[in-house]
Structure 1
């Protein structure tokens, strides 16, 4: 500890910032005179009530007193992990009273069975006091009420809403529209969140993540983000997606949908360089006639019954594809018939002039899998590496047996290296 005391204040403050909670930060004041007031300038405070062994009132008092004594003109991060004993928004009200210069605000509410189940409402005062300098806002498991007055977040660039409940559509849509320089938005919906229409109209937005796990509701996404570069949609609902602008700057897109209403969405992603696709059980889910000239990396999920048709259509429409990966990322739904290669009527005889790497994960040796591998080897004229990964260990004799299924004479590119490996990783 004596050696640490000789370090510059900036270094010591960085060290204190890595402590897990504000309780540990404040407790360093008893180490020596050198440390007595140092904690008051720490740029990151985490208030975690799971570290407290006292009752709710004492935790709130600790938050009040430490924020009053804290002297840093700007807090880089103010993080609340509540729910074990506090279980209310009173602590957040106190924070709004004492701190107005915060760059990142994180509010996480514990909803485990052992915690308080009382919904925690993020108070209006918290937004109105700290919104000017706020650059990042992360809310998990809270209740977001509709704003009682106009609000603006002129500096907010990152907004994350996970399992948040709303008073209605307008509360979240007003919040999003009040962020003129927003670059990253992540919304993960939960059951009973009262959200039926999510409007994302943000000209500055570069990254968007929309996740909806509930599969028995009807809702709507409206996306108008012409500067978008990265898009992730996981939607197992019966809703629809409306794209109001051409997303010509898209670089990476991950599309995991259950509803067959995908044509308009995919039609707006023709500039993407990297694709992850898991499309629903519908032959019409993929738009016909779209050319993905910029597509270089493609990953196809095999959990849906129509994945073969999706694969063939995307290969046909991607003349510059260099990397192809096929993997089952989700469990098969019970009772569904698996696809058969002979039933796939879209298999053309053409070349993949740009494909350089191909990877098939969780290879089980089925006839359909063999046909897919043979097909890729037959049409990829510049293929350099083909990797087949099994979920079980394979010995030397098994590898030799598998190689017989794909002889060199059947490959369009004789220089292609065919490798077999064992992968136990869970997708």
Structure 2
């Protein structure tokens, strides 16, 4: 009889974890390894049923390492799983980031348009990364939709194998970091992107072809990263008088090289070039000497 009484008293005390202040509960949920586990806590009790909606979520879908990811049926399965997740998370009050890395966009254009719409309109994300690993020509890349060129919330944007061809102005007023990779891009589009991102602080161009002259006049953009390791050869002139940090990585041959025309504010440079020297490489040697003498920085790494 005494034991039964103790059990009843204990049951009457309720769930001490659930009795904690909501701010503490939200902090505990935010420490769980992934967003799925956060949602699963909704089955604990009626009090926990909707608590997950107030926890900032991180949606990360990376299928690039899956050996089966090249097959169309698996790509479609991945797309369906992403769509299901976004359907659940559309009611979440705050989504910190949304990343999706997948091999191909072929035959799933409408689904990708929905992902971009979710990131730029529904989820009101601050960080969005979307990259494809399609081995084909840059002009066949996924066309970034027109509605996504106007956004006042995004702070970090990374796109791989996505065509940027806005018909009007770009308005990314809150963007501070932009990464563009594996795509053909015109100087006019680059100018639109830079003029439409007045608060941009960091720009990364990874195997971006089509630009011969990169002109950056913003005083806020202080970090520039350039990567080039494909077979597309050209000369890139860099006019960026206010950048303070520069990284250059990649292949350098007689057809492909970088020319620093104006980097007067540069403080730190990281340079890693694979330079091809033919048997009579006088021209290449001269280029290397000239390149490093145009670095007016006080600190050199690599």
Instruction: Kindly indicate whether residue 236 of structure 2 is the aligned counterpart of residue 220 of structure 1.
Output: yes
What is the distance in 1 between the residues matched to 2:297 and 2:58?
42
1:247–1:268 Cα contact (<8 Å) kept? no
> Which residue does the alignment assign to 2:115?
92
Alignment of 1:147-162 (within 5 A): 147-162=166-181
Tell me which of 78, 88, 94 is aligned to 1:66.
88
Give the one of 147, 153, 165 matched to 1:146. 165
Aligned to 1:402: none
Change (3 A) 1:27 1:55: farther
**Higher-helix-fraction structure:** 2
Q: CA deviation at 1:56?
A: 6.2
1:246 Cα deviation from its structure 2 partner: 4.2
The corresponding residue for 1:183 is 201
CA drift of 1:137 comes to: 1.0
TM-aligned CA deviation for residue 147 of structure 1: 0.8
Three-state SS of the structure 2 residue aligned to 1:107 is strand
RMSD of the alignment, in Å?
3.6
Find the aligned partners of 1:110 and 1:148 in 2 and give their Cα distance.
Answer: 26
Match of 1:132 among 119, 144, 152: 152
Q: 1:119 to 1:3 in 2, by over 3 A?
A: farther
1:111-168 CA-to-partner distances (Å, cap 9, x unmatched) read 489xxxx84333222332xx2122211123x2223112101222222112233x1353
State the structure with bigger RCO (CA 8 A, min sep 6), 1 or 2: 2
Q: Distance in 2 between matches of 1:242 and 1:57?
A: 42
Given that 1:248 and 1:269 are in contact with CA atoms closer than 8 Å, whether structure 2 keeps it comes out as: no
Task: From the two aligned structures, give the one with the greater strand fraction.
Answer: 2
Please give the per-residue CA displacement for 1:305-339, whole angstroms capped at 9, x wherever unaligned. xxxxxxxxxxxxxxxxxxxxxxxxxxxxxxxxxxx
Please state whether the residue corresponding to 1:69 is helix, strand or coil: coil
Render the CA deviation track for 1:357-404: whole Å, top value 9, x for unaligned: xxxxxxxxxxxxxxxxxxxxxxxxxxxxxxxxxxxxxxxxxxxxxxxx
Q: Secondary structure at the match of 1:11?
A: helix
TM-score calculated relative to the size of structure 1 = 0.51
- Report the TM-score, using the length of structure 2 for normalisation: 0.69
**Residues 245 and 268 of structure 2 are in contact (CA less than 8 Å); yes or no, is this contact kept in structure 1?**
yes
Q: Does 1:35 align with 2:48?
A: yes
CA distance in 1, matches of 2:266, 2:211: 28
Alignment gaps of 5+ in structure 1: 277-427
Distance in 2, matches of 1:273 and 1:252, equals: 7
Q: Which one has the largest radius of gyration? A: 1
1:33 is paired with a residue whose SS is coil
Cα 1:39–1:203 change in 2 (3 A) is same
Query: Any residues of structure 2 matched to 1:254-333 within 5 Å, and which?
Result: 254-256=271-273, 258=275, 259=284, 260-262=286-288, 265-276=291-302
Name stretches of at least 5 consecutive residues in structure 2 with no aligned partner.
1-14, 67-73, 276-283
Counting only pairs closer than 5 Å after superposition, residues 399-410 of structure 1 correspond to structure 2 as: none
Structure 2 residue corresponding to 1:234, chosen from 237, 240, 249 = 249
Change in Cα spacing, 1:255 to 1:109, as seen in structure 2 (3 Å) is closer
